[in-house]
Amino acid sequence: MSSQCLPEQIQPKQSSDRKSGLMSAIPSLQALRAHRELPALTALVVALASTLVLTLAGCASTNGIAPGAKLVEPTAVGLADQADAVSPAIEASWWQSFGDSTLNGLVDKALTGSPTLKVAQTRITRAQAAIDNVAAADGLQVTGQFDATRQRFTETGLVPPPIGGTMQTTATLQAAASWEFDFFGRNRAALDAALGSQRAQEAELQAARVLLAANVSRNYVQLARLLEQRDVATRSLQQRDDILSLIRQRVQAGLDTTVELRQGEGALPETRQQVEALNEQIALTRHALAALTAQAPNALDTLNPRLQPVQAVPLPANVPADLLGRRADISAARWRVEAATSDVKSARAQFYPNISLTGFAGFSSIGLDNLLKSDSQQYGIGPAIRLPIFDGGRLRANLRGKSADLDLAIESYNAAVLDAVRDVADQISSLQSIERQQKEQASAQVSAEAAYDIATQRYKAGLGTYLVVLNAESTVLTQRRLGTDLKARALDTQVALIRSLGGGYTVAAKTATAAAPVRTAQAL
């Protein structure tokens, strides 16, 4: 391309100094670009693009895609709707009501050292990072750029000689900025989804704390039960050993035969086997407690708790209406619904135009020594509009997936509500039944102990047989074990009821009410 082809005002000046010729060509090219800048044409392009956006907005459609699951109504699953049907007040440190300092220490150690809780806390940190990542996308994006390239310019290209046909260094130093206008709420919905996920993780952490405290307490009660059962078996072993001594005396006196002697001797190994089986269960339960409290398996080998009566939690007449707000697992499921609802909104917003404003400013030159000169300045600003028209069904598939995720979250919430209602009802029924059983068992044990004493005295006096003593002893042992089991079950079920009623969890003021996800999900 010859210099005669260019307008007069941008023809390069001839010079014997080659470098001077190169420098004079740079403003000529800038003048060419300036000559082509037409503000009126830019405005026309923006107007035409806006018209095109409105015309083609319906090309990618969301028709026929919507979540189908519905959130369960509280009254439909048996939650009381009376104003006075509320859960009994439960302290966050409810285990302290047992009045056992050893248990308090174990629960505190578990809550501070449990890897399970640390995993849950790490998930919260990750969720917060996701929030920050989504929030950053909605702000001003600024980037810096510097590049330098050594290249040979073609003699037949846009750049004429004397630059064409030579090796030159092109350099660019500039900053670029962009701002997306979230007119259709895509970024806002994505942020809401991230916030919902974080709050679900926070609720799951609280649920894990409640469950961990309950598991420590229940294993502690189980250990106390096994220790008392071993005491019962040890007492039985001593009683059978005493009776065996009596049988031997009676055999020597000719009052009993070897049949009674062999029966008495056979009873001792049986009882020792029961004691050994209880020792095994005691060791395993101690190991479980050590694991729950993040300690070595043998750390609690000397732990010997005893069953103590505790102040009972008042039993509600019905499953309380505020249960949905007192259980952390239900709160977590509720926030999962919120997050999934926002994900659906964000997926729908992707069907609409993406409008942003971009701009740049900096320097660009041929030759590094010219880069920072005023003549090398460049800048620009303008809108960018992106509209999905044909994408092979990608957006519709994404929306279907998010809608399915919402259905899954809703059904998981419904399942959590149903399970919670059943859980509370089970514990209430069990406690009521255990209370009645304890009364009957206490009466039965009094009678069994009396019958055993009479049978033993009659046998010693030669008025009864050893078979009667064995039968009476068997009944006594059964009642003693049953009494210990019922006492342990009463404590264990108290803990289970406390857990089922939320374990002292309360929804923070910043979180939503139980009805919030219902309104949000049903609005889609």
pLDDT digit string, tens, across residues 272-307 = 888 999 999 999 999 999 999 999 999 999 999 988
Q: How many helices (H) and strands (E) does the chain have?
A: 11, 4
Please state the rounded mean pLDDT for residues 37-64: 55
Contact 514, 74 (CB under 8 A): yes
If asked whether residues 190 and 225 sit together in one domain, one would say yes
Tell me the three-class secondary structure of 84-144, residue by residue: CCCCCCCCCCHHHHHCCHHHHHHHHHHHHHCHHHHHHHHHHHHHHHHHHHHHHHCCCEEEE
Bond before 162 cis per omega within 30 degrees: yes
CATH of the domain at 149: 2.20.200.10
- Quick check: is 520 in a domain? no
Please provide the average confidence, as pLDDT, over all residues in the chain.
Answer: 81
Contact 410, 521 (CB under 8 A): yes
> Residue 2: its pLDDT value, please?
40
- Quick check: is 15 in a domain? no
> Residue 504: its pLDDT value, please?
87
In this predicted model, which residue has the larger pLDDT, 400 or 38?
400
- Quick check: is 43 in a domain? no
Task: Indicate the SS3 state at residue 393.
Answer: coil
| Distance from the Cα of residue 469 to its chain's centroid | 58
> Residue 85: its pLDDT value, please?
54
Whether pLDDT at 442 is above 90: yes
- Quick check: is 325 in a domain? yes
If asked whether residues 152 and 229 sit together in one domain, one would say no
If asked whether residues 467 and 365 sit together in one domain, one would say no
Supply the range of the domain harboring residue 236.
Answer: 74-138+182-352+387-501
Give how far Cα 154 sits from Cα of 13, 102, 383, Å.
20, 87, 33
Of 229, 238, 239, whose CA–CA distance to 470 is shortest? Answer: 239
Of 334, 324, 345, whose CA–CA distance to 200 is shortest? Answer: 334
For residue range 2-38, list pLDDT tens digits in order.
443 333 333 444 434 434 443 444 444 444 344 444 4
Contact 153, 165 (CB under 8 A): yes
pTM for the structure as a whole? 0.75
Contact 257, 251 (CB under 8 A): yes
> Residue 465: its pLDDT value, please?
78
Give how far Cα 422 sits from Cα of 69, 386, 430, Å.
22, 51, 12
If asked whether residues 366 and 436 sit together in one domain, one would say no
> Residue 189: its pLDDT value, please?
92
Whether pLDDT at 516 is above 60: no
User: How far apart are the C-alpha atoms of 414 and 71, rounded to whole Å?
Assistant: 6
If asked whether residues 131 and 88 sit together in one domain, one would say yes
Q: What tokens were used for 42?
A: 């830019």
What whole-number percentage of the chain has pLDDT above 90? 42
Longest dimension (CA), the chain: 144
385 forms beta bridges with 355
If asked whether residues 312 and 426 sit together in one domain, one would say yes
If asked whether residues 343 and 282 sit together in one domain, one would say yes
Q: Specify the DSSP element, H or E, that contains 274.
A: helix 258-292
Q: Which pairs with CB-CB distance under 8 Å and at least 24 residues apart come from 128-135?
A: 128/198, 130/194, 130/197, 130/198, 131/191, 131/194, 131/195, 131/198, 133/194, 134/187, 134/190, 134/191, 134/193, 134/194, 135/191, 135/194
User: How far apart are the C-alpha atoms of 67 and 407, rounded to whole Å?
Assistant: 6
If asked whether residues 358 and 458 sit together in one domain, one would say no
Residue type, 296: A
Q: What tokens were used for 362?
A: 């900096």
Of 220, 223, 224, whose CA–CA distance to 103 is shortest? Answer: 220
Pairing of strands 354-366, 167-181: antiparallel
Name the band, by pLDDT with cuts 50, 70 and 90, for residue 47: low
For residue 364, count other CB atoms closer than 10 A to its CB: 17
User: How far apart are the C-alpha atoms of 480 and 428, rounded to whole Å?
Assistant: 25
What whole-number percentage of the chain has pLDDT above 70? 80
- Quick check: is 411 in a domain? yes
Pairing of strands 141-152, 354-366: unpaired
For residue 23, count other CB atoms closer than 10 A to its CB: 20
For residue range 120-172, list pLDDT tens digits in order.
999 999 999 999 888 888 788 899 999 999 998 888 888 888 888 889 899 99
| Distance from the Cα of residue 174 to its chain's centroid | 44
User: How far apart are the C-alpha atoms of 229 and 207, rounded to whole Å?
Assistant: 32
If asked whether residues 220 and 231 sit together in one domain, one would say yes
If asked whether residues 369 and 290 sit together in one domain, one would say no
- Quick check: is 54 in a domain? no
For residue range 163-206, list pLDDT tens digits in order.
888 898 999 999 999 988 888 888 899 999 999 999 999 999 99
Name the domain count of the chain. Answer: 2
**Any residues with CB less than 8 A from the CB of 246 and at least 6 apart, and which?**
459, 460
- Quick check: is 168 in a domain? yes
For residue range 446-455, list pLDDT tens digits in order.
999 999 999 9
For residue range 206-231, list pLDDT tens digits in order.
999 999 999 999 999 999 999 999 99
For residue range 239-266, list pLDDT tens digits in order.
778 777 877 877 787 777 778 778 777 7
CATH of the domain at 96: 1.20.1600.10
If asked whether residues 381 and 441 sit together in one domain, one would say no
Q: What tokens were used for 41?
A: 């044409």
> Residue 518: its pLDDT value, please?
44
Phi, psi (rounded to 5 degrees) for 389: -115, -65
Contact 182, 138 (CB under 8 A): yes
Give how far Cα 389 sits from Cα of 55, 144, 181, Å.
11, 32, 20
If asked whether residues 197 and 311 sit together in one domain, one would say yes
Residue whose tokens read 């990072």: 129
**Any residues with CB less than 8 A from the CB of 251 and at least 6 apart, and which?**
257, 258, 260, 261
Listing from the earlier edge strand, what are the strands of the sheet with 377-386? 141-152, 167-181, 354-366, 377-386
DSSP 156: T
- Quick check: is 5 in a domain? no
For residue range 86-106, list pLDDT tens digits in order.
566 788 889 988 888 999 999
Of 439, 420, 412, 442, whose CA–CA distance to 497 is shortest? Answer: 420
